[in-house]
Amino acid sequence: MHILYDLAATQPSTGKYHGGGEYGKVVFQRLVALRDDERISAFYRPERWLDPSVKQCADAHANVRLLSYPENRDLTEVIRETAPDRFYTALPYGYYDVDFSDVELVMTIHGLRPIENPTDRYEYRFQRSLWGWVKFIGKQLIPSGYVKMHHRRMKKLLEVPARKKSIVVPSRHTKYALLDTFGAVEFDDVRVLYSPEQESESPASPTALEQRGIRPKRYILMVSGGRWRKNAYRAVHALDDLFSRWPEIDLDVVVTGVDSPSLVFGALQNRDQFQFLDYVDRPILEALYREAYCLLYPTLNEGFGYPPLEAMRYETPVLCSAVTSLPEVCQDAALYFNPYAPSEIRNRVLMIERDKDIRQTYACRAGSRHEEISKQQDQMLTELCRLILGRTTS
Mean pLDDT by 10 residues, the chain (394 residues): 95 70 93 94 94 91 93 94 97 93 96 96 93 92 93 95 95 96 88 91 96 97 96 98 97 96 96 96 96 98 95 98 98 98 98 97 98 97 96 64
DSSP string, 54-88: HHHHHHTSTTEEEEE--TTS-HHHHHHHH--SEEE
Q: Concatenated DSSP letters for 185-213? A: S-GGGEEE-PPPPPPP-PPPPHHHHHTTT
> 270-303: buried (b, 16+ CB within 10 Å) or exposed (e) per residue?
beebbbbbebbeeebbbbbbbbbbbbbbbbbbbb
247 contact partners, CB below 8 Å, separation of at least 6: none
Sign of the dihedral defined by the CA atoms of residues 379, 382, 387, 391, in that order: negative
| Cα–Cα distance for residue pair 380/194, rounded to 1 Å | 6
Per-residue model confidence (pLDDT) at position 164: 93
pLDDT confidence of residue 392 = 72
